[in-house]
Each structure stands twice: as C-alpha cells, then as structure tokens.
Amino acid sequence: MLRFDNREALQEYRNSLQTVKPGQEKKLVSICSGPGCSVNNAAIHKKLLSELRRYDLENTIDVRLTGCHGFCEMGPLMVIHPEKTFYPKLKEEHIPDIVEQTLVNDQVVDKLLYKDTASKKRICCEDDVPFYKLQKRIISGNNNLLDPTNFDHYFCLGGYQAFEKALFEMTPEQVIDQVKQAGLRGRGGGGFPAAIKWATCRKHHGNRYVICNADEGDPGAFMDRSLLEGNPNSVIEGMLIGAYAIGAKEGFVYVRYEYPLAVTNLTKALDTARQMGLLGTNILGSGFDFDIQISRGGGAFVCGESTALMASLEGKPGRPRAKYIHTVERGFRDSPSLLNNVETWANVPVIIDKGANWYAAIGTEHSKGTKIFSLVGKVVNTGLVEVPMGTSLRRIIYDIGGGIPKNRKFKAVQTGGPSGGCIPEKYLDLPVDFDELTKVGSMMGSGGMIVMDEDTCMVDVARYFVDFLVEESCGQCNPCREGLKQMLSILTRICDGQGQDGDIELLEELGTTMQNFSLCGLGTSAANPVLTTLLYFREEYEAHIRDKKCLAGVCKPLFYYTIDKENCTGCMVCARKCPQNAISGEKKEVHVLDQEKCIKCGICYDQCKFNAIRIN
C-alpha cells in the first residue's frame, strides 16, 4: 500500500497519474450507479464486461461505476469519454451495439441517443443535452468521472491538491480569509457565512472538533447523498482543510441510517486515506494530526439541527437546546465545534484550489458559488441540478427541468423542506439565492425543489408537512409540540370537509406564536408551509372551508369524478383498470361512472389519454 510521508511524494505520485501521452488516453465508460440508476445497472455492467472480453478490449477500455450523474429521469445512464457520448435509458440488450459501434468502430448508435423533447433531434454529446448544458457542475461534475472508492481517480482530477496547498503554503488565518473572500455560505439551511463560524470556532480554546452534517433529512432532497456516495474524498478533503484552519484533531461525519451506501463508500475512503497517511498523525510530515470517524443517525429529522446533532453524536437522544451559547464555543462534548453540511465541505477544496476570486465571480452579490438542487415532483426531467446562485426558478424548472409533464399547469414549487414554503407562479422569475427565497417566505434549505402542478392540493401539502413535523418534533417546547398538533387537527378537519369559519385566522395565529416562541430552528420555521400556502393560495383554503370543494381532486370527501361526454372516446381503458368495476360502457360509446361504487382512487384519471375524466 502506498504511503505518503511528505508533500513531494504525494505530488510525484499525482503527476505520474496525470501524465498520459496524447493519443494514448484510454476510452472511459462511465456508468451511473446513483440511487435512481442502481436498480438495473448491475446487469448492464456485467454485460458490458463480457462484451468487452469478446473483443479483447477489457484492458484497453476503462469501465467505471460512478456516483450519481444527476439526470435520474433518464437512468440508467452511460457516458463514453473523451467524446462524452451520452446513452440514456439503457438496457442490457443495448450493450452489444454500443460496444461494437461506439467502442470498436468509433461511431454512435443513433437510435440510443438522447432525443430532445422540444426539437425532436437526437443529441450525441452529454454537454449538449439541455438538462446539462445550462448547468455549472463545479461540485457535482466529478461524480461522472470517478469510482468513489478509487483514490487514483480522485488524485488524477487534482485530488488533495487544495489540502496540500492549504497545509504547506497557507496559514490557518489565510485559509479562513480565503473562505471569507469567496463568500461561502452554509448549504444546509440558513446560509450562515461559513468564515464567521470558522473564525469564531478558532478563537475558542479546548479540543476543537469539525463535524460534517450528513443527516440530510429534508424530504425531497438527495444531493448530499449523491456527493457522499459519489465523491466522498471531496468531503474528506474539505474537512481536512477546515480542521487545519481551526486547529482540530478530530472530526465526525454524522450520516443518515437510510444511506447505507454512503456509509460504505465513506468508510472505505477513510480507511484508504488513513493508510496513505492523509489522515492520522503527522500528516504528510507536516506535524498536523487529524482523523475522522463516522456516526450513524437513527432516523430523526430534528438531528439535522446543530445542537440536536451534537447530542446525538454523544449517544443521547437528539434533543436541541437553546443556543444562548453557540456550538462554535461549546458544542460537541462541551467543546468548540465547527459544523457544516456535506455540500458546504465539498465546496471548500474548490475555493482553495481555484482561489476565492474565481469562486466569488460565480453567483449573486450575497450568495456566491453554485447550488445543487434536487428537482423532483411534477417535472419532466427529475434529477440533481447544479446551477450558479441567482439562476431563475423558470430556468431551472422549464429550461433545465423541461416543464410540467402531461401538459398540466404549474401551481407551485416547494423549497427548503418542511421549514420552507411554497412559491407560486408569479415568482417564477425570481433569482434563486439565500436572500431572495427568504423574501418570499420560503428558504433555501438544503436544496430540495419539489414542483407541484394543478393536481396538487395546497391544503393537503400544508397538512402533509405539519403531519411530518408532528412526528419529528422532539416535544421539549410547548409552541412546537402543541402548536403543530392543533394545526394538524385543524388542517385535517378542513381536508375532511369539516372546516369552519375562523379556521384560517386560527392557523395564522398559531403559526405566528410558533415562529416567535419555539426553542429551536425546527419549531420557529415549522409553520412556514402553512403560512406560505395561506399567503399565496388562500382561495384554496376558502374553497375547502366555504364551498366544501377540493378542485385539485386530492381531498376525497370534497370532490367526485365524472366522465366528460365530449371527450370520452369509449376506449374502455378506464373501465378495464377500475378496481371497483364502477365504470361501464361499450366500445366507442361514452362510458358511465357509478358514484356509489367509486372509491376515488384516481386510476381512471391517471390512465385517460383524452382528458375525459373530470374532477368536480
């Protein structure tokens, strides 16, 4: 096993990996193994290897199972470098053609290329696919190029160069100053300036700790998972730089129990880093000591809150405390603790490597760099999207995301998880950064972006988040514990058609109380989903309460389905699919729906291609 005792040894090794003579580059086949693609890619991988053997190419072609490429909707994905030939929606039976035509004969398999929905043209190169073209993947881009557990791949892309630069060429103060100049803000929620945290932590005495928050609890967000699974070294390198800057000897990654692959890949990377002398004592002969341990969470959303996370790290229930004393002064083990989330740590090596000025040129005045969003819900191109701060919602949802499926109408986009809010259509041109999202009542959160269409009931969405938070509230303070329970019972009443006059005002009053008097960030932001939907979609609440109607067709007691005589072609699909046999009718004749039998499961509505099932 390699071990680097000094800087020169590491540099020499990296250089030896990077020198490939022109014309001698191996073709690289990168197969996405992200959560969206991993279901089918084992068979694809196996088939590819066996085909390569058939042509005696197994040593000439470099095949890598990589982390998430981002375009989950089109998975399983394959990209062939250096041309970046892009094959989406891959199946095992496509492999022989790809090997023969692309890898042996250097031609593309036209019928397997991505077809642009707008122009109907086939697109060959990954960079030209609209989903990727409009992104700027400075943090997530390397995912495509490396096997997460292979250090050589990471070194080849300049891995640990930033750490080495910080350690040997910069003082800790200079490192913090670079982070400050870059304008890095925490990617986990509130967007607190990272350099202030770092500098304050460094000022306080005691055993300092650096901690990585990988308890990505926001439902609908999975960018931290993809970074930790796909490029764990970038997070380790960021933490090493942070530890050097604040003078910490120990670090922890607190990772969700639900992400077993992230734990596996990170464990392997940590073990290798230790063997190579990149973690441990006297790292690269510099006299700097640092090591990282993994701690697994237990499925509690509140543990994403800093004080709760640190309590959980100590082996206790994850209950937050009031922050009269900040965790940078007294946090984990009552010592100064520096907590940043996965994506924030992954930004650090980029800043040190490319320089604060380069980084600060990306983004808006007060939000620098890029942000990875998980674009999900009712949108054509679901997946992970990395764009410069300040990109408009419209560009993300329509130009990159391809708009709303089935030509349905956009209603809202939910950002910031359960602490965030729902943003209506009138703000689609809003540039997305920390401050702009806060201005419209939502927040950045960790970057979940859930698109909702006309079939989404906003009262139901509010109830969904409150229901989530009722379970996740730790129960220590009254406003959060009781406020949420009361909110849930009012919202449930409204969705059941039992809404009363005054319910809206009561929800607002409860929300304001929770905002003002809860103990921690979970409680103070818990009312956001209710308050923003009340602000922007008040008429839906009123329709539920006053007219007893749910026009989105979600709240079962408040709507019924009918068949539109004009649109029904008598194709019989709905009649065949109905589990209750509630639809009758002959071929090419208008069908009839028996309201007595209908359980409003919505299968007919989803199946009908002629827009003949109507919500009333």
DSSP 406: G
- The smaller minimum CB distance to other proteins, of residues 14 and 319, is found at 319
557 contributes a contact to other proteins by CB under 8 A: no
**What burial class does residue 385 get, using C-beta atoms within 10 Å of its C-beta: 0-12 exposed, 13-18 middle, 19+ buried?**
buried
Task: Give the angle subtended at the CA of 515 by the CAs of 510 and 517, to the nearest 5°.
Answer: 90
- For position 603 contacting other proteins by CB under 8 A, the verdict is yes
Q: Give the integer Cα–Cα distance in Å for 367 and 391.
A: 11
15: CB partners within 8 A, 6+ apart: none
By CB under 8 A, name the one of 206, 280, 299, 557 that touches other proteins.
299
Tell which one of 493, 602, 610, 614 touches other proteins (CB under 8 A): 602
Residues 39-98 touching other proteins, rule: CB under 8 A, are: 39, 72-73, 75
Q: Cβ 560 to other proteins, closest distance in Å?
A: 17
Q: Kindly write out the interface string for residues 200-229 of this chain, putting x where it contacts other proteins by CB under 8 A and - elsewhere.
A: ----------------xxxxxxx--x----
Q: Are 40 and 76 in contact (CB under 8 A)?
A: yes
Among positions 472, 530, 545, 593, the unique one binding other proteins when judged by CB under 8 A: 472
| Residue 229 and residue 34 in contact, taking contact as beta carbons nearer than 8 Å | yes
Work out the number of other CB atoms within 10 angstroms of the CB of residue 249: 14
Nearest-angstrom CA–CA distance, 339 and 190: 13
How many beta carbons lie within 10 A of that of residue 318, not counting itself? 23
Please select the residue that binds other proteins; options are 38, 200, 207, 498, rule is CB under 8 A: 38
Q: Find, among 245, 251, 140, 266, the residue nearest to 194 by Cα.
A: 245
Nearer to other proteins, 261 or 428 (CB): 261
Instruction: By CB under 8 A, tell whether 314 contacts other proteins.
Output: yes
318 binds other proteins (CB under 8 A): yes
Run of H or E including 272 = helix 260-276
How far is the C-alpha of 27 from the C-alpha of 11, rounded, in Å?
A: 25
Which range touches other proteins (CB under 8 A), out of 164-172, 290-298, 506-514, 561-569? 290-298
Nearer to other proteins, 183 or 417 (CB): 417
The reply on whether position 36 binds other proteins by CB under 8 A is: yes
8 binds other proteins (CB under 8 A): no
Out of 35, 158, 193, 285, point to the residue binding other proteins (CB under 8 A): 35
Write down the least CB distance from residue 305 to other proteins, Å. Answer: 14
β-pairing, 248-255 vs 383-388, is unpaired
Residue 461 in contact with other proteins, rule: CB under 8 A: yes
- What SS3 string covers 118-144? CCCCEECEHHHCHHHHCCCCCCCHHHH
Residues forming the site for other proteins (CB under 8 A):
35-36, 38-39, 72-73, 75, 216-222, 225, 256-260, 295-301, 312-319, 374, 376-378, 382-384, 414, 417, 448, 450, 452, 456, 461, 464-465, 468, 472, 579, 601-603, 606
